[in-house]
Structure 1
Amino acid sequence: MLWAIKYRLLFSYLLVFGSILGVFTSAVRIFVTHSLEQEITEKLIDLAEGAAASSEYINGKIKLDNDFPIQDITNRHQGLQWFNREGNLLQQQGENLPNLPLDPHVKKQLLSGKNPIIAITLPIIGSEDGKLIGYVRASESLENLNKTLNKLDWGLGGGICFALLISGIGGIWLTRQSMQPIEESLQKLQQFTADASHELRGPLMAIKSNAVVAIKYPEAIRETDLEKFQAILSATTQMSSLTEDLLLLARTDIIPNQDVSFINLKEILDKLYTLYKPQAEAKEIQIQLQLDQDLYVLGDGEQLKRLFTNLLENAIHYTSVQGRIEITTRSVGSYIYVNVQDTGVGIAPDNLEKVFDRFWRADESRTYNCGGSGLGLAIAQTIAKKHAGLITVKSELGVGSCFTTRLLSISLFSKSSLSKNSSLKS
């Protein structure tokens, strides 16, 4: 359906646009995070270099110059630690001090946890002899950084949602504009198909009637002409069937369900079983019926009958002699499932998605010389979708196929609301 194409186009547009926004915002966050971490690192390097330059090692203790701003360290939630050459802690000042042994070979450390910390370690070199005196480690909490990044995340996330909302509204308008010519063309094509099929019925019936009359009185024609009239009758019958199917398919696409009522699927399936059992037995096919009681749905009885007729005819047609067909039903939650399973020729896995396409037939298992218009399953699927349902198929070559029809159960709604339901008439 066109609405499905519209939704796919809109979803694809939003997916591409959202992916672009996601990549862009991720790049922005990475850049901002790197910039903020680099800024903190540079401040700690300056702090550590200042502390190292202001430090003196006297009698096993670290002495700072009087003008070193110790109070500013506390106010900025930073910390300083001094170590001797062996890595033993001598003194510390400030806040957010990492409780880690000194590793003089690692200049920068990131400590995760409840209170993440970044630390910078620099050596202290004596001003007189230029020898290593010890080490100083400057540290700062990353709590403020994380708060800033959280605000950035919320801002970017909100921006993405707002952009997608605006883009979605614009996408709906653009999709409608782009699909409008396609809808008009499709409607014209459907109307043409319906009109052409309707107009062809008359000439085909005339040809068929004359062919039947000619065959009924073979003494009035030559023997060689009799075979020609039989061929004409066969071709006309096939064309009439194709025309009727095209007309039904076009009307199903265009005209909403007219006779909507409460339908008991059990009655429809029972009648079809009785009708087609002799045909199946004539082909030496065993047909079995296992139904639950009172399977009610809301819909068009004639269309639902056509749906299951097509599935049953398809099963009989492609099931070989001494095969088996099973018709079973079950209710699961809000849905009714009807299975038509056969032991026929089956369908190749690559062709399962095409089986409901109009005029499609697989090369090996479904050939044109076996009769039918090639529209039966397409009509069945269209009717199912008109009733808010769906037909799925599972099949294996040489084993058989199982067509499962899913329809909404009547128990989903109250009787009063169903009578006013307009979803099947839209």
Structure 2
Amino acid sequence: MTDFKKIRTRIFLSNLLAFAIVITGFAGAVRFVFVRNLRQQLTERLTALGQGAAAGAELEEGELDLEAEFQERELLERRQALQVFDLRGHLLEQQGEDTTTLPFDSELTVQIQSQAPPVQAVTLPIFDSDNRQLIGYLRVSQSLKQFERTIRQLDYGFGFGALVALLLGCTGSTWLNRQVMQPIEESIKRLKQFTADASHELRSPLMVISTNTEVALTYPQGMRTSDEEKFQAIASATNQMSQLTEDLLLLARTDNIADFERKRLDLSVLLADLVHLYRVQARAKQIELKTEIASNLELIGDEAKLTRVFTNLIQNALQYTLEGGNIEIFANRHGRELRVTVTDTGIGIEREYLDKIFERLWRGDRSRSYVRAGSGLGLAIARAIVQNHGGVITVTSQIGVGSCFQVCLPATHTSVNST
């Protein structure tokens, strides 16, 4: 179920991110077009105002005269201003207060002053109404405070709309994820239940085959040599099938958190017992087994299932480590978690296989050729148990150097470390 929660969360976040990108892109595009059109309309209004003011302009006795007159009060009410410049760019006349402080430039048709006060200005040439000669320039400006207020209101509207859209998107995404994942989860549950039921039902016939094979091998009188070899092959295959059946049944039960027995236990005692159990096997293979286990490593968990986790890790280390190699088991507390590492000097695992070794029924080619293949479920079972305890299991490895498995589990309280 933990995997399903992760999948649902990943799908939810992916949908939310995609929805947010769409909303942001849509809002950005609409805002860009709106601001552009609004600014263009402002430029057109200022241009029309300037053209009306410059119409009929004349140069009399060296002075620029605009026949069109504007009431300064109207310019003040509309937050507009007029500035008249001669050909050299000297200011000759000014009406209104909202003028730009930017330097005059006859080459720039539109000027925008962003600092206070925000102003947009349009510069137009003035031609003599009689001979159409250039006699000066007229700069029409408009305060941008109302423009900025409109854009700010637009941004507030987009922000509120985006927030509402995201909330609705979250609700819709959650509902859709539930609708999509529910049949998948039910199918997986049925498959797990079938696996558990099938494994349970296979135990009896396999036990019958194994028992009868053992009896036949125990009393081989009258049995041909070739028949004895066949019975031994049957016994070996039956043992492998029995192990696979037990592992499938355990894995199906391990996926169900309700099957876990929760109680306070000392991980240091559990590990010490396992080390004592496998030290004889390590000596038989001339493997040096080093340990450094802190005391009082207490946690809440299922002792039998955690024993299965570390039994699997130690057995793997012994199987894949050559004679004369080393195995190190360290256990201590780091903050609020307990860390156990099992390091060996074995054959190692290829880098591209590190993400696959916890998959069910997966085995690498090097491990197939080195030891007799097991069920391929040991590490999958270990990961399921650790995850259902709220922990994580990771691995690092290098070919020809060895592997290091680390298990992190939540601790119950502060422990006192000792070597």
Cα offsets for 1:207-230 (capped at 9, x unmatched): 222333333344553333232222
Where 1:97 maps in the other structure, the secondary structure is coil
Q: Which residue of 2 aligns with 1:305?
A: 307
Taking structure 1 as reference, are residues 410 and 220 closer, same or farther at Cα in structure 2, changes over 3 Å only? farther
Matches within 5 A, 1:23-422: 23-53=25-55, 56-57=58-59, 62-65=64-67, 67-219=69-221, 221-254=223-256, 256-366=258-368, 370-411=372-413
- Normalization by structure 1: what TM-score? 0.89
Could you say what the CA RMSD is over the residues aligned between the two structures, in angstroms?
2.4
CA contact (8 A) 1:334 1:411 kept: yes
**Deviation string, structure 1 residues 301-342 (Cα, Å, up to 9, x no partner):** 111111111122222222233332222234333222222222
Cα distance change on mapping 1:336 and 1:55 into 2, 3 Å = farther
Q: Can you list the C-alpha shifts for 1:359-392, whole angstroms capped at 9, x where unaligned? A: 0122344559632110011001100111111212
Alpha-carbon spacing, 1:378–1:367, altered in 2? closer, same or farther (3 Å)? farther
CA contact (8 A) 1:356 1:377 kept: yes
Is the 1:48–1:137 Cα contact (8 Å) retained in structure 2? Answer: yes
Query: For residues 33 and 220 of structure 2, what CA distance do their matches in structure 1 show?
Result: 92
Q: Aligned equivalents of 1:26 and 1:218: distance in 2?
A: 86
CA distance in 2, matches of 1:68, 1:409: 83
Unpaired runs of 5+ residues, structure 1, are 413-426
1:367 and 1:153, CA in 2 relative to 1: closer, same or farther beyond 3 A? Answer: farther
Distance 1:258 1:65, change over 3 A: same
- In structure 2, how many angstroms separate the alpha carbons of the residues matched to 1:96 and 1:347? 75
> Which amino acid counterpart does residue 96 of structure 1 have in structure 2?
D
For residue 136 of structure 2, give the secondary structure of its aligned residue in structure 1.
strand
For the 8 Å contact 2:350–2:399, the answer to whether it is kept is yes
Corresponding residue number in structure 2 for 1:18: 20
Deviation at 1:247, TM superposition (A): 0.5
Q: 1:84 to 1:367 in 2, by over 3 A?
A: farther
Letter of the 1:335 counterpart: E
Residue-by-residue CA offset, 1:41-100 (whole Å, 9 max, x unaligned): 112212222332365555665544473232222222223222211122333332332222
Structure-2 residue corresponding to 1:417: none
Per the alignment, do residues 345 and 105 of structure 1 end up closer, same or farther by CA in structure 2, a change over 3 Å counting?
same
Compute the displacement of 1:249 (Å).
0.4
**Contact 2:359 2:380 (8 Å CA) reproduced:** yes
Matched pairs, number: 412
Deviation string 1:257-279 (CA, Å, 9 cap, x unpaired) is 44211122111111111112222
Does the aligned pair in 2 maintain the 1:346–1:365 contact within 8 Å?
A: no
Structure 1 residues 215, 30: closer, same or farther in 2, change over 3 A?
A: same
Preserved contact between residue 62 and residue 91 of structure 1 (Cα < 8 Å): no
Tell me how far apart the structure 2 counterparts of residues 281 and 8 of structure 1 sit (CA, whole Å): 47
Cα distance in 2 between the residues matched to 1:235 and 1:336: 39
Please give the TM-score of this superposition, normalised by the length of structure 2. 0.90
Q: Distance in 2 between matches of 1:169 and 1:298?
A: 36
In the alignment, residue 361 of structure 1 is paired with which amino acid? Answer: R
Give, in whole Å, the separation in 2 of the partners of 1:209 and 1:30.
81
Gaps of 5+ in 2: 415-419
In structure 2, distance between residues paired with 1:378 and 1:163 = 41
Partner of 1:422: none
Q: Label 1:72 to 1:341 Cα distance change in 2 as closer, same or farther (>3 A).
A: farther
- Tell me which amino acid in the other structure corresponds to 2:268: K
Percent identity, please. Answer: 47
C-alpha change, 1:62 and 1:238, in structure 2 (3 Å) is same
Amino acid at match of 2:266: N
Distance 1:281 1:58 in 2: 117
